[in-house]
Amino acid sequence: MFKKLPAILAAGLMAAVLTACGSSGGTGTTGATSEAGGSDTITLGFSQVGAESGWRTANTKSVQEAAKEAGIDLKFSDAQQKQENQIKAIRSFIQQKVDVIAFSPVVESGWDTVLKEVKDAKIPVILTDRAVDSTDTSLYQTFIGSDFVLEGKKSGEWLVKEYEGKSEPVNIVELQGTTGSAPANDRKKGFGEVIAADPKFKVIASQTGDFTRAKGKEVMEAFLKAHKDIDVLFAHNDDMGLGAIEAIEGAGLKPGTDIKIITIDAVKDGMQALADGKINFIAECSPLLGPQLMDLVKKAVKGEQLEKRVLTEETTFTPEQAKAVLADRKY
């Protein structure tokens, strides 16, 4: 742990020097103090996954609003769900000499090279929302986000309860998130571990819907054509579940009744479908990471040692619970 302290301090010092040189303006002139924010303004480079889901839109809004509130100069870049775009954005943040880099990695693997470049430039890195699989954990200061394995487990646990005391086989189809992403890998794992305890649960088809509504619909249509006996759909996010609902209704079936549906996120549209009985259970995943992220950014700039893992608090919802909170749901 203490090994990392000098690097963090150095990063903090470096950031202080860079901000003193007016790096937030990006003009390269020394000692220049712009009216907008002055020389103390922290610059944050943020590489977002894309705009694939309601969750992502709410997350982007939270980050942008929190940066404004905290007086942090946010350089926001949308990767359109492509890792190569994120790598390009990170390299450009290094060139612009931002104070801190935060990003939500579209997939888990393949980050070591670019993260080493960031480390060499002495810029602290904060992983937001999604993890990387790098074994060298000195490549980032902290990781803030949900426990995706737990979300998968909660989904599985609801299913086990729902079919308690019944012995007939339960045929499940799964709509996975983006292939290789932390939430897809972990939600699949958590759900799989729980349902493996009872052999009556059978995952008869599992495919990616890339976390989007359109893909969720398309893949569900294919599932419905290939299998006449689907009892349950487990979708790794609300949006894919909502797309699948259209496919199920299109096939003349009743979502939530003929096919039970479990999703993850609890964004407003998902919660509405839950309240309407079209979804049966949602495990919450909070996108409102902005304020906590800005606190971490400020601490990183000061050279403070950050907790390696910052977890988001989350709950689960049944239709009754969704009805109770829907009116106040902000996203």
Shortest Å distance, C-beta 10 to ligand GYE: 31
Q: Please, which residue, 45 or 177, has the CB nearer to ligand GYE?
A: 177
Candidates 60, 86, 185, 237; binder of ligand GYE (CB under 6 A) is: 237
Is residue 174 a contact residue for ligand GYE (CB under 6 A)? no
Query: Given the rule CB under 6 A, which of 40-48, 51-59, 135-143, 188-196 is the region that contacts ligand GYE?
Result: 51-59
Shortest Å distance, C-beta 81 to ligand GYE: 9
Shortest Å distance, C-beta 242 to ligand GYE: 11
Shortest Å distance, C-beta 241 to ligand GYE: 10
Shortest Å distance, C-beta 140 to ligand GYE: 16
Is residue 73 a contact residue for ligand GYE (CB under 6 A)? no
Shortest Å distance, C-beta 177 to ligand GYE: 6
Query: Given the rule CB under 6 A, which of 2-10, 49-57, 60-68, 215-223 is the region that contacts ligand GYE?
Result: 49-57
Shortest Å distance, C-beta 267 to ligand GYE: 8
Candidates 265, 301, 303, 319; binder of ligand GYE (CB under 6 A) is: 265
Is residue 210 a contact residue for ligand GYE (CB under 6 A)? no
HSE-up of residue 73 (Cα within 13 Å, Cβ side) = 20
Candidates 130, 154, 217, 299; binder of ligand GYE (CB under 6 A) is: 130
Please check whether residue 73 is in contact with residue 44, taking contact to mean a CB–CB distance below 8 angstroms.
Answer: yes
Distance CA 258, CA 187 (A): 24
Cβ atoms < 10 Å from Cβ of 304? 14
Is residue 243 a contact residue for ligand GYE (CB under 6 A)? no
By CB under 6 A, the count of residues binding ligand GYE is 13
Shortest Å distance, C-beta 58 to ligand GYE: 9
Is residue 285 a contact residue for ligand GYE (CB under 6 A)? yes
Is residue 211 a contact residue for ligand GYE (CB under 6 A)? yes
Candidates 24, 43, 55, 63; binder of ligand GYE (CB under 6 A) is: 55
Distance CA 158, CA 9 (A): 46
Q: Which residues bind ligand GYE (CB under 6 A)?
A: 52-53, 55-56, 129-130, 183, 211, 237, 239, 264-265, 285
